[in-house]
Each structure stands twice: as structure tokens, then as C-alpha cells.
Amino acid sequence: MPILPPGINETDFSAALGQFAETVGTNWVFTSDEDVALYRDAYSPFWGSDEEKLASAAVAPESVEEVQQIVRIANRYRIPLYPISTGKNYGYGGSAPVHSGSVVVDLKRMNRVLEIDERNATCLVEPGVSYFDLYNAIQEKGAKLWIDCPDPGWGSPIGNALDHGLGYTIGHFRDHFGSHCGMEVVLPNGEVLRTGPGGVPGSKTWQQYQYAFGPQLDGIFSQSNFGIVTKMGFWLAPEPEAFREDTVAVYNHDDLIPLVDVTSYLTNSSISNGLPGLGSPLLQAIGTSWGGPDSDPEHIALLQTSDRPALERYGREKNIPYWTCNIKTYGPKEVIDAQWAHAREKFASSIPGATFTEGEKLEFPLTYEQGEEYQQGRIAGGRVDFGIPNLSIFQIISRTPWNPNPKFGHYYFSPIIPKTGEAIFEASRVFTEAHDQLGLPRPPQGITSLPALYYQRSAMLLMALQVTRNIEVDQKNRSAFKELVKIAAEHGWGEYRTPPAFQDDVMNAYSFGNNALRRFNETIKDAIDPNGIISPGKSGIWPKNMRGA
Amino acid sequence: MANRREFLQMGIAASALPISTGLMLPNKSSTAENISPSIPIYRTIFDNRYAVARIFAKDIENAGGKTYGIDGDVTNLWYHDLHHRWKKGPVAIAGLTDANALFCLEQLAWSACQMHLIYCAEHKPTDGSRKLVESFPESSFLAAEKIMHYPKREAVALPPYSSLSTDDINSLVSWVIAPTKRT
């Protein structure tokens, strides 16, 4: 038995484990070192240190009734629980608990796709269903529907949505929590609650209408510890007829401002409904072939200077754009051709000198194998553009010029910033200075990170800090991360998601009104979970008996 | 060719190597004791991008084993093969891949049917140069044979590093994932 939950004696813990086993069967209570080790966060920034967050045991129920019974037993013995869906939240915590000694409630056996409604383009799933499972269920049914999945397809639509995960396809489907519709939750007292129209017994519209009568509660069950979600509905995308991906290239530094503005206009007008992708061939040239034989010494020398006009001139002469943006559009073939024509005109009239490259055009359906063909030469993106789950990202995940062969994972610093060129420049300046100040490796391309534009009206920076499994280096990186959170907050930027190691810091950065947000969450927590058994500390929300400990 | 002392040194290095969850067979006797006996290897996975792995696979095939080549990405292996096979019940797999592929397979094997990584050894340059060791570590095959009743292999000669298809590789790992007896 590796560790005990804090404050729980061995007798009570053994009694609780015994009752868990009576509930789910002895095969589904995991207590051996070898089994419990698989609930460690393989990307833990604490790996090997005394501070590493570790589970004491795990229990894997198969039904809602078993989850209810586990919650009742946990209340009886004050056992902290840490529910996971499939536990694949790497980069943001994996399956390890926030509070060491918690018992992981592994929901992987609850893996039924309960409903796929092609006419209304909805589904209802359990937490152990992976993106692969849902994709397969849709294929087997022959439904003309798409899922929207993140890069690794082994995760759970429920787990990903609850942690505000994101994907790659069409418009609002990329926001996985935003495109959910209805949930079933086991509350900390063991009762079962259904949100939205699911509150009506025998509801016929649970997956069709997002609201209910009275307050919409769904949001309080995301990134929270107010219950265990056991079912969730999602809206799916009807399979589009066609797709095209085109690129606009601009050659001046300040062209980024109109480039982002026009992209936002196209997105917000639904003229382009795919995920736009910003790039900088001129700046990234040095990052992708630093010192290599293909790098032009003149280019490298220019990148070392602050002579921006000279760099712009070099780029124009060599036809290397300062910025690019990939514009992806899904829809009927004739319609998306017209949409691109309009988009092109908008860019051309707003940015003198912009050039255009017409890229890939595809018609659907794609077979899995055709998706694979599209993937060739791509690591990130690719099949996920069409809702086809895969694991390709693990070939290169978080590999960078200054860490070409990462072995131990990473974790993300991911603030949300305004979706404007000015904000991107400011964030780049602020975080480049912060990298220098904190002794972090400075990004060679001179811009900390180009934002991802998953959301329609905001931008997200994604900066990966490497896990080294060197205790001193990891400690230094954790301190740096905490400083980055503070620096971001000083500029009005908050993180959208963070690993357990930093959830208190991030919640504390949302400090408006003397931390009114955190205190309100704590008020709810104390009211509905007085014993503090569900995921204590998740998102910086601690139960009364653990606050300040 | 590495001599026997180098083999043994590699075996020692491998026993202390932390890979993903940190489960290492050589110093995990409790795990070894829990291995279900006589479970055959269902497939041996190799990374097609590396000459050494292709040689390894050929050797396995010559001995009658079934292999599956990947290009670093385990998606097709999982989607077309292991996912279906493991739905019927746990079967052991072995491989010579990079650490990223092993990481994925270890996670998938646990989620699918509670299997563990029971053996893992890293193969990397022993002298700090950009050259892989020139022989496959005998220790890994001995361990595999002992645990899995896997046919003993002769050491496989490896080509010089310069003949590999990419130069950004630091190491490969040989491994076995298998069902264990639950205690």
C-alpha cells in the first residue's frame, strides 16, 4: 500500500477499500505498487520529488449506481476521491490527483456510447468512451457525422470537455465544453442530477436544448470538484461536402495586425469556419534549422539583430513571408470556393502586397486510410482537421530546437490573450523578457509563441515547459511557471487550464473583488461537499477542512 | 561489436533507466514473480525508420514470430490491430521502438486490459559519440526468454549509426508488455 490519504488511519482505509471491493469486485480495486504507479502523472513536474502528487489506490466502477455507492462509502470514511475519465490529460496533470493520497475513481469501464442521433447530430456518452470509440461507433452506424477531437485521440470527450479542451474542425465544435448538451452528475452526497431538459423525467430533448428552467448549472461541473459526471451529451457536426485550405502571406512585421483582424472578421462572420493557423516562415526559419547546412548565414545574422527593416527586406527579396495564415473552410464545394474568393479579396484590400497560395481541396467522406494519407508529412493537425482520431502527436510532442528529444514530457503555460496583432506583439515582448528574467531558454525565433486561434474571439498562447526529472531543474521550472502566472495576471491575462501543481496559483490570479470567484467556489464546495471528498484542491477549490493546510 | 563486458554494463544501465511509469523488470522482482507464465508474444513491434529495428524484426520473423512495423506513430497498430485483439483479452507484445511509441502502448495496454510494462531496456551510445552500440544487448533477450518463454536470440549485429535514416535519435528501447497476475 503506497500511501494513505492524509488524516485517515490504516484501519479505516482498509475498511473503505474492502467496501469499494464489495461494490465493484476485487478485480477493480487497485492497490499494488505496480497498478497504482500507472496513475502517476508521467509528465509530472514533481516527478521523483517529495511533493509529487500520488494516488493511494484506484477503484473502477462500471455503473452510475456503483459510482453512487463509492461516493457514499467515501463520505462514511472521509476518503478523498479523484475521478478521471480515461486519465490522458497529459500536459495538464494526467491521472494523478491534486491531493496526494486520494483514491482515483477510474471511469474507464463506463465506456458505452449510449446514443447517436444522426437527424439531430447529437450523441450521449459515458466518461470511459474515448474519441476512438465514438469515432468507431459513428462509422459502424454509418452516420454522416463528425466528432471534433484533440491531437491525441485516446482521451475522453467527457474528460476533455470538462477540462475545457479544444479541437480542430468547424467553428464552435472546437470548443468541446461549449458544444456539449446535457450532463448527468453524481453529487457528493450520492444523489444523481441531470442538467438541462434532462431534469424532466423521460426528457425527449436532453441532447437538443442546452438550457433548463432556472439557472444553467452545467458550468459549475467543469474544471471543478462539485460532482462526478457520468453521462454527457454532445453536438456533432454533420459531415460537410468539401474542405479547402488556403494560405495568405504577408511580408511586413506590422502586417500581423490587419492579418489577425481580417481573420477574425472572416471567422466571426462564418465566412471561414475552420481553425486559422498563424505562422512566421521568416522568424521560424532559424528555429527549424538553427545552424544547419540549409540556413542562410545572412538570414541567421539578421535574426540576431533588431534591424527589422533589413529583415523585412531580406524576406521580400527571398520571398519568405514575415507572417502567414492558413484559412480552412468546410462546406459545399461551390460555397467554399466563393467563401475563399471573398476572403482573398478582404485580405488583398486590407494588406498591400499580400500573396495567396491555394492549397489542398478535399471532398468527403474520407476513409480512415485517406485521412492517413492526408496526415503524411504533418505531425500536429492533419487527420484531426476531419475529426479522425489518432496518436501521431506523440512522435514529436513538445520537441523544440532547444530540446530536440524530450523524454519526460512537458506542461503548458497557456494564457488567453486578446485576438489582435497588438496583443500578440505585447504578449511576445512581455514573455520574452520574462523568459530572460527567469532564466528559461529564450525562443530562438524572437517571439515567444504565436497564439492558437481555437476560440472565435480570443487567442491562446501555448508555451511548453519541459519535465527533466532532474529535481533541481524541475523545481526551478516550477518556480518560473508560477512567476509567469503572476506576470500574465499583471497584464490582464489568465490561464485557461493548468496542471494540478499550479491550480492554486492560477485561481489566485483570478483575484477580482478580493478573490470573489474563489470564495464563491468555496461556498458552493462547502455547501454540497461538506466532507470534502470529491477532488479536493481541484482548480484551487479546497474544502473547508483543508483550506490553509 | 560490443564485448560481453559492454553488454553487461548496458544491462546495468538499463536496469536503472526510468521510462514513463518507471517500472523496470530487472529490479522489480515482485513484478517478475507476478508474470503469468507461458504467455506467448502476440506481436513484436518495430520502428521501420531504423535499420536496427528492421534487422531485429527480420530476426523475429525468421524465428516464426509475428511483427508489426510502425513509423513512430502507433495509431494504425492500435486502430487496426491491438484495439480489436485486446478487446478479446490480454495478450503480450514486445518491441524495439523509440520511447514515445512505448509510452503510448504502455498507457493503452493498461487502459485496455490492465497489462504492465514488465521489461524495458534502453539502447544508446555508450561512449557519448553519435553512434549506437554495435550489438543488441544480450540481456534483454535473456530476460524475455526467462519471463516469456521467448526463444533465445543470438545477438544481432547492428549497422553503424551513420546508416540509420535519421540522425536525431538518441536511443531506442526494447520492451515487453504483458498480463500480470493480480494480487
Distance from CA of A439 to the nearest CA of B (A): 26
Asked if residue B67 lies in contact with residue B178, where contact means CB atoms within 8 angstroms, the answer is no
Residue range A182-192, pLDDT digits in tens: 999 999 999 99
Question: Smallest Cα–Cα separation from A88: which of A374, A393, A382, A383?
Answer: A393
Cβ separation A391–B75 shorter than 8 A = yes
Contact A394 B73 (CB under 8 A): yes
Write out residues 29-88 of A within 8 Å (CB-CB) of B.
32-35, 37-38, 40, 42, 86-88
Among A38, A88, A474, which would you mutate to test the B interface (most chain B Cβ atoms within 10 Å of its Cβ)? Answer: A38
Q: Is the peptide bond before A365 cis (omega within 30 degrees of 0)?
A: yes
Give, to the nearest 10 degrees, the angle between helix A297-304 and helix A308-318. 150
* Angle made by CA atoms A401, A407, A409, in degrees to the nearest 5: 90
Higher-pLDDT residue of B124, A422:
A422
| Contact (CB<8Å) B100/A33 | no
A115 forms bridges with which residues in the sheet?
A124
Task: Report yes or no: B100 and B169 within 8 Å, Cβ to Cβ.
Answer: no
Strand A228-235 versus strand A180-186 pairing type = antiparallel
User: What is the helix (H) or strand (E) element at residue B33, kind and residue range?
Assistant: helix B29-33
What's the pLDDT tens digit per position in A216-256?
999 999 999 999 999 999 999 999 999 999 999 999 999 99
Q: Which residues of A touch B28 (CB under 8 A)?
A: 34
Residue A371 CB neighbours (<10 A): 20
Considering chain A, what is the average pLDDT of its residues?
91
Question: What does the mean pLDDT of chain B come to?
Answer: 63
Is residue A444 scored above 70 in pLDDT?
no
Residues 6+ apart with CB under 8 A from A143: A116, A118
The cell numbers describing B51, all together, are 535499420
Nearest chain A residue to B104 by CA distance is A394
Cβ of B76 and A397 within 8 Å?
Answer: no
Q: Running DSSP on this structure, what letter comes out for residue A148?
A: -
**What is the value of ipTM here, to two decimals?**
0.88
Q: What is the DSSP letter of A358?
A: E
The answer to whether A323 and A255 have CB atoms below 8 angstroms apart is yes
pLDDT computed for residue B160 by the predictor: 31
Neighbouring residues of A443: CB distance < 8 A, sequence distance ≥ 6: A287, A432, A435, A449
- Grid cell 423525467 — which residue? A201
pLDDT digits (tens, 9 = 90+) for A530-545: 999 999 999 999 999 9
* Nearest-5° Cα angle at A290, A359 to A481: 90
Instruction: Check if the beta carbon of residue B135 is closer than 8 Å to that of residue B1.
Output: yes
Integer Cα distance of A95 and B111 in angstroms: 12
**CB–CB of B23/B31 below 8 Å?**
yes
Sign of CA dihedral A42, A44, A49, A54: negative
How far apart CA A465 and CA A383 sit, in angstroms, is: 26
| Burial class of residue A524 in the structure, from the number of CB atoms within 10 Å of its CB (0-12 exposed, 13-18 middle, 19+ buried) | middle
- Structure-model confidence comparison of residues A208 and A88, the more confident one: A208
Residue with cell 528492421: B54
Does residue B6 have a pLDDT over 60? no
> A391: which chain B residues are within 8 Å (Cβ-Cβ)?
73-75, 78, 104
A74/A77 Cα distance (integer angstroms): 5
Amino acid letter, A46: F
Work out the number of other CB atoms within 10 angstroms of the CB of residue B80.
Answer: 12
pLDDT, tens only, A136-165? 999 999 999 999 999 899 999 999 999 999
Dist. CA A82–CA A99, nearest whole Å:
8
Q: What is the pLDDT of residues B90-142, one digit of tens each?
A: 998 988 888 889 989 999 999 999 898 887 777 665 444 434 433 344 444 44
Q: Distance between terminal CA atoms of chain A?
A: 24
By Cβ distance, the residue of B22, B34, B74 closest to A391 is: B74
pLDDT at position A97 is 96
Which of chain B's residues have a Cβ under 8 Å away from the Cβ of A32?
A: 182-183
CB A491 within 8 A of CB A497: no
| CB atoms B72 and A37 under 8 Å | no
User: Which band of pLDDT confidence, cut at 50, 70 and 90, is reported for residue B147?
Assistant: very low
**Least CB-CB distance to B168: which of A154, A372, A405?**
A405
Query: All 3 cell numbers of residue B44?
Result: 513484436
Residue A391 CB contacts under 8 Å (≥ 6 apart), including other chains: A152, A153, A154, B73, B74, B75, B78, B104
Residues B124/B171, Cβ–Cβ less than 8 Å: yes
Residues in chain A, total: 549
DSSP annotation of A326 reads E
Chain B residues whose CB is inside 8 A of the A371 CB are: none
- Residue B87 C-alpha cell reads as 478487446
Q: How confident is the model at residue A392 (pLDDT cuts 50, 70, 90)?
A: confident
**What integer is the mean pLDDT of A381-397?**
83
How many interchain CB pairs under 8 A, A with B?
Answer: 65
Query: Other CB atoms closer than 10 Å to residue A461's CB: what's the count?
Result: 24
Nearest residue to B177 via CA among B50, B74, B49, B58:
B74
Catalytic residues of A: 92, 496-497
Q: What is the pLDDT of residue B4?
A: 27
Interface mutation vs chain A, best among B107, B122, B169, B183, most A CBs within 10 Å = B107
Q: Report yes or no: B102 and B95 within 8 Å, Cβ to Cβ.
A: yes
